[in-house]
Structure 1
Amino acid sequence: MIRLPTQSNPPHSPRQTLPTMYDLPSDNPEDPGLPDEFHFFQPLLLLLTFQPTHWSWEQVFSACDLNLYYDLVEGNYQRVNLTDNRFFMPELGLSLGLWSGRFREINAQWLRWMTPSGELIPTDNEQAILAEERANTAEERATAAEERAIAAEERAQQLAQRLRELGIDPDNL
């Protein structure tokens, strides 16, 4: 008979008893594996961009520690192979991929939620920047169109004046 350790009363939280990403060995032998800004912001970035197409928000649980190196297959963990630096999850209608960029003033390689085709799902801040860029582009187009209209009107006035100089009334053509 296997004897399980007795549970404390009250029970310890999973954060105290289960391994986290900080328990994983680091590529850097001098790295103690302690939390840093990246480890705080990584789950925040995932939370801010999680937009599943096939799930309601009531069914979503967001974890703050994530280990996506392995997939549970028939009760055994197996290494996950990424395609195009991303992992497609058809159940969610999303991909989880690697992105090199800047988030919260930290340049790093991040896990990012993406569309099935690999487009980044933007954060609110990124959406605001994109909206501002679209507004600036629209304003630039409107300004250019206005300038073309003014130039066309000036050209029409010049042509009308030239016709009058030639004795032709441009209003009666």
Structure 2
Amino acid sequence: MYQTDPPLSPKETLPTMYDLPSEDQDQPGLPDQFHLFQPQLLAETFRPPDYPRDQIFTGSDLNLYYDLRHPSWYKRPDWFAVLGVPSLYEKRDLRLSYVVWQEAVNPHIIVELLSPGTEKEDLGTILRDVEKPPGKWEVYEQILRVPYYAIFDRYKSEFRMFQLTGARYAEVDLSDFRFWIPEIELGLGVWQGSYKTVEMPWLRWYDKDGNWILTSTEEERQKAEQERQKAEQERQKAEQERQKLEQERQKLEQERQKTERLIAQLRSLGVEPDLE
């Protein structure tokens, strides 16, 4: 093969997202509802304050191509976030896959949602077949070096966080099922509430004050409630003004009646009051 001088970079020589498959060839088909809804909630509430939205990419059930030595190898995280990359591929196109040698930025956090069929691979307890690609744990920890790896088991309402410490992941002792990530000024935790009309424990992001970051629907609902409260306050203010005017009218009426009685008394005594 012809060798250029200087050699071309992997970005120039290896397949792009347009060349690589975007579907999961081993497990075709759509995920269950939880695997659809939970990543949506994570994406909606992932708002690092120091990153504009057009410099954040989040993916779910998307092929993540990670090894330039084996361009066809990929993992398919349930959800992941990358910081400092355009939200659109090359600022112009929706991503078909996430190809690390094209993007040059690895995910900052990956979330896997445990299910009976994926639990062993997600937790890194399965023995690797040397004839096959490495498992998720090895890819996230050893190859991509993803700083944070979160695992959520909805069946047990169990949230576990692993942080890259040196060469290995170390499990973090969580407080109140929450974990704060200082460099992005966001925390990830378990929230008991209703999302998509489903009441259950969900994984979502919170801010530095410990408040859950609102989804667009929740923001609209909050805005509508604030407007309702404002309208109610204005109605109460108008009612208070009306009552004040009524009190003043009654006071004037009382003064008028008092004056008329006084005039009547004077006239009964033969005194004509000076009304000018």
* TM-score range for the pair, normalised by the shorter chain length: 0.7 to 0.9
Give the structure with the higher percent strand.
Answer: 2
Per the normalisation by structure 1, the TM-score is 0.73
| Paired residues of 1:101 and 1:107 also in contact (CA < 8 A) | yes
Residue 78 (structure 1) shift:
1.2
Residues 1:153 and 2:149 aligned together: no
Q: Which of 34, 37, 43 does residue 47 from structure 1 map onto?
A: 43
2:57 is aligned to 61
Residues 1:127 and 2:219 aligned together: yes
> Are the structure 2 counterparts of residues 76 and 150 from structure 1 closer, same or farther at C-alpha, using a change threshold of 3 Å?
same
Residue 164 (structure 1) shift:
1.4
Q: Which of 190, 194, 207 does residue 115 from structure 1 map onto?
A: 207
Identity %: 32
User: For 1:82 and 1:16, how far apart are their aligned partners in 2?
Assistant: 36
User: For 2:200 and 2:190, how far apart are their aligned partners in 1?
Assistant: 10
Write out aligned runs for 1:1-150 (5 A): 35-64=31-60, 65=78, 66-67=111-112, 68=150, 69=160, 70-150=162-242
Residue 12 (structure 1) shift:
6.8
User: For 2:186 and 2:195, how far apart are their aligned partners in 1?
Assistant: 20
Residue 129 (structure 1) shift:
0.3
Residue 15 (structure 1) shift:
5.4
Per the normalisation by structure 2, the TM-score is 0.47
Tell me which amino acid in the other structure corresponds to 2:189. Answer: G
Deviations 1:120-148 (A, max 9, x none): 11011000000010011011111111111
| CA root-mean-square deviation | 2.4
User: For 2:54 and 2:25, how far apart are their aligned partners in 1?
Assistant: 26
User: For 1:143 and 1:47, how far apart are their aligned partners in 2?
Assistant: 39
Secondary structure in structure 2 of the residue aligned to 1:61: strand
Residue 114 (structure 1) shift:
0.6
Secondary structure in structure 1 of the residue aligned to 2:244: helix
| Paired residues of 1:38 and 1:106 also in contact (CA < 8 A) | no
User: For 1:15 and 1:78, how far apart are their aligned partners in 2?
Assistant: 29
> Are the structure 2 counterparts of residues 74 and 14 from structure 1 closer, same or farther at C-alpha, using a change threshold of 3 Å?
farther
Secondary structure in structure 2 of the residue aligned to 1:167: helix
Residue 55 (structure 1) shift:
2.4
Bigger mean CA deviation after superposition, 125-134 or 70-79: 70-79
What are the ranges of 5 or more consecutive residues in structure 2 without an aligned counterpart?
1-18, 61-77, 79-110, 113-149, 151-159, 261-276
User: For 2:188 and 2:197, how far apart are their aligned partners in 1?
Assistant: 22
What are the ranges of 5 or more consecutive residues in structure 1 without an aligned counterpart?
1-9, 18-33, 169-173
Residue 49 (structure 1) shift:
1.3
Q: How many residues align?
A: 143
| Paired residues of 1:86 and 1:118 also in contact (CA < 8 A) | no
> Are the structure 2 counterparts of residues 11 and 131 from structure 1 closer, same or farther at C-alpha, using a change threshold of 3 Å?
closer
> Are the structure 2 counterparts of residues 56 and 159 from structure 1 closer, same or farther at C-alpha, using a change threshold of 3 Å?
closer
Secondary structure in structure 2 of the residue aligned to 1:55: coil
